[in-house]
Amino acid sequence: MLTPQLILGISEEIVVDLFAGGGGMSTAIEQAIGRHVDVAVNHNAEAISMHQANHPQTTHYIGDVWEVDPREATESRAVGLVHLSSECTHHSQAAGGQPRNKSSRSLTWVGKRWAGQAMPRVITLENVKQILQWGPLIAKRDKATGRVLKLDGTVAEAGERVPLQEQYLIPDPKRTGKTWRAFVTQLRVMGYAVEWKILCAADFGAPTTRERLFMVARCDGEPIRWPEPTHTKIKTKGKKRWRSAAECIDWDIPCPSIFEREKPLADATMRRIARGLKKYVLDSADPFIIPIAHYNGRDACNYAVASAYLAQMNGGFNTTPGHDVRRPASTITNTGSQQQVVMAHLTHLRGNCDARDVEDPLMTISAGGQHHGVVSAFLSRQFGASVGHGADAPLGTVTAGGGGKSALVSAFLATNTTGHTGVGMDEPIPTLTTGQHQAQVECTLSPDDEASALRVAAFLIHYYGEGGQWGDPRNPMATITTNDRLALVTVHIEGTPYVIVDIGLRMLQPRELYRAQGFPESYIIDHGHDGRKFSKSAQVRMCGNSVSPPPAAALIRANYADARGRMVA
């Protein structure tokens, strides 16, 4: 409920939100028309309870959408708008080669029932773009024998008849899109004009690059209108630049070290972190600066510099190399939050810290002394070959599985320059005094930082480097440890060299994901209408299953007028 003011139900038409989920589309409709949705339907008890908490004036139906009688639910009143957000998992490319469920893929057909019995003036639909490939399913066949594969992984015996519910079903490549075309044809036969278009949420002010197909069908003779984007990837006249993932992240939440976890991260995850760290921290020419007060109990002297990126790290369909955190986040999917952030903490060191060229020997590193810290951050996603993208870009698409795959990763760096007393966050980083080449540095480090620097160097050598170093002198270099020499990995931040002493990681919290999806800050996500508490995984699942409000609100504003013909603002 966007305002505390209750609204009298005197509208000439009612509005219905099917598959209401956590309430993203209902929120969008309320933002667009200035009042609540009249009827909402969903089969999930937690989702409908969250919806009730945020939309208390709506009449709620919990159960299968096929069990709700349109005439009974509408009390035979005129219906102005019906929205469909049928379950997308079994259409999505995120399912990969997994078996598909026929009944789940068929839920969109409920729109035809509502069109026939309630005849809404406007019908809207939101789903993954792969719904355009919606077609019949066939049984997957064993390559060796040609026989049917079963859901339990076994192969049918010769001559065995396998019941449909036990077959491993996949889309029939010879009939791709046949069912979608039939659905559209049925609506057109009933008198509806039908169009569809893929909209990116970032183009309408949400800090996520989530792309979804939106369909509009109307039978009132009015033209279908598509909203004009308000934001662009590169700022142009009359439009704003995409919002960033960085504005969704609570930078005050500490990031536990990846080296001190009770259960070590998988090697594949560590390799992705190492690749992302090199691309977005060690080689970053434009660090993302944020204030930060502490990291895992360390005093950061109340400021930090973060060079952040987002990476996908849960294995599967997304193979993008990641992007800058100043761009929107990628899609939050139905397998859960997959965003991670890596940060580098800028720290001042006392004592002689003489930068030296890589061609010179590394001098002895002594212990002791205070330091500031710089945090360079990236968001990493846990799937595919992705190394993520920058934290100042919008977040990726939020999905619903609740797997907790999004994390904030922090790489702490110690500065190697001489005589700096530190600067405020609104001041420039100190000038480079040793040239533009990569350097190994003699400086004052505490015993803890010495150990940490060795640990980080070993990590990067193991998961990224070869032979303990990189060949290009413009890149960071890890030297071999001897009695008097410490292996360091250094990086230049606007010309100033730093030593990495730690890497941290945390999962993004549900509130951060709802911000990325475009929900208002006041939206209730942790409990239902009856006080029931939602687990983090449930909150993430409902976020991933939700419609991003900004593009949906723009679509409703462009296409929905009340019964008197007045376009709602």
- The domain spans of the chain are 14-136+176-243+520-559, 137-171, 251-420+430-508
* Structure confidence at residue 232 as a pLDDT band (50, 70, 90): very high
Instruction: Please give the Cα distance from 241 to 376 (Å, whole number).
Output: 23
Say how many residues make up the chain.
569
Poorest-pLDDT segment among 28-42, 56-70, 385-399: 385-399
Instruction: Please give the Cα distance from 499 to 23 (Å, whole number).
Output: 46
More confident: 484 or 321? 321
**Burial environment of residue 223 by CB neighbours within 10 A (0 to 12, 13 to 18, 19 or more):** exposed
Instruction: Please give the Cα distance from 62 to 429 (Å, whole number).
Output: 57
Q: Residue 273: which residues within 8 A CB-CB, separation 6 or more? A: 258, 265, 340, 342, 380, 409, 463, 503, 505
* Structure confidence at residue 457 as a pLDDT band (50, 70, 90): confident
Q: DSSP assignment of 167-188, as one string?
A: B-EEE-GGGTTHHHHHHHHHHH
Poorest-pLDDT segment among 65-69, 173-177, 493-497: 493-497
Question: pLDDT at position 378, please?
Answer: 58
pTM exceeding 0.85: no
If you average pLDDT over residues 287-292, what whole number do you get? 57
Q: Is the pLDDT of residue 275 over 50?
A: yes
Instruction: Please give the Cα distance from 249 to 550 (Å, whole number).
Output: 19
Poorest-pLDDT segment among 19-23, 85-89, 376-380, 530-534: 376-380
If you average pLDDT over residues 216-234, what whole number do you get? 95
Q: Are 124 and 80 in contact (CB under 8 A)?
A: no
DSSP 8-state symbol, 316? S
- Residue 92 to residues 62, 165, 435, 497, 536, Cα–Cα distance (Å): 25, 21, 51, 45, 23
Instruction: Please give the Cα distance from 518 to 167 (Å, whole number).
Output: 39
Q: Are 83 and 18 in contact (CB under 8 A)?
A: yes
Question: pLDDT at position 472, please?
Answer: 39
If you average pLDDT over residues 478-482, what whole number do you get? 33
Task: Assign a CATH topology to domain 14-136+176-243+520-559.
Answer: Rossmann fold (3.40.50)
Which sign, positive or negative, has the C-alpha torsion 97, 102, 106, 107? negative
Instruction: Please give the Cα distance from 528 to 518 (Å, whole number).
Output: 20
Question: pLDDT at position 266, please?
Answer: 86
For the stretch 113-123, pLDDT in tens is 999 999 999 99
Structure tokens at 24: 């993203």
Mean pLDDT of the chain: 73
Q: Is the pLDDT of residue 196 over 70?
A: yes
* Structure confidence at residue 507 as a pLDDT band (50, 70, 90): confident
More confident: 400 or 438? 400
Q: Are 525 and 50 in contact (CB under 8 A)?
A: yes
Q: Are 525 and 539 in contact (CB under 8 A)?
A: yes
If you average pLDDT over residues 407-434, what whole number do you get? 43
* Structure confidence at residue 20 as a pLDDT band (50, 70, 90): confident
Question: pLDDT at position 390, please?
Answer: 65
Strand-pair category, 366-367 with 444-445: parallel
* Structure confidence at residue 274 as a pLDDT band (50, 70, 90): confident
More confident: 454 or 548? 548
If you average pLDDT over residues 495-511, what whole number do you get? 76
Question: pLDDT at position 501, please?
Answer: 75
